[in-house]
Amino acid sequence: MRAQNNYINKAIYEDLTNRYQKTTINKKELANELGVSVSAINNCIVKGYGVEYVKLGKAKNATVVYPIICVANYLSNTIKVA
């Protein structure tokens, strides 16, 4: 099971990296990947769950980005494969 999860994680990571051509994505891009609204992403931040993120600055309204590796880890742990 663990080997399968690692394979899925690697495949998701490679797909995201190829599509975005960068190491981080923003809230709008993450919302698109997860099929939810940006408001849902903001709620996850406030409630303390969801994809790990990096806040660029200390201000309350500082930009939040999501490392592609964290998005891949999140997706590989939440997607169920039959």
Instruction: Residue 7: give its domain's CATH number.
Output: 1.10.10
Does residue 71 contact residue 23 with C-beta atoms inside 8 Å?
no
State the pLDDT at residue 72: 95
Q: Which domain holds residue 64?
A: 2-78
User: How far is it, in rounded angstroms, from Cα 60 to Cα 28?
Assistant: 18
State the pLDDT at residue 3: 67
Q: What is the pLDDT of residues 19-44, one digit of tens each?
A: 999 999 999 999 999 999 999 999 99
List, in order, residues 6 or more apart from 63 with CB less than 8 Å away. Answer: 26, 55, 56, 57
User: How far is it, in rounded angstroms, from Cα 37 to Cα 68?
Assistant: 19
- DSSP lists the bridge partners of residue 44 as none
State the pLDDT at residue 51: 96
Share of the chain above pLDDT 70, in %: 89
> Is 80 exceeded by the pLDDT of residue 53?
yes
Query: What is the domain count for the chain?
Result: 1
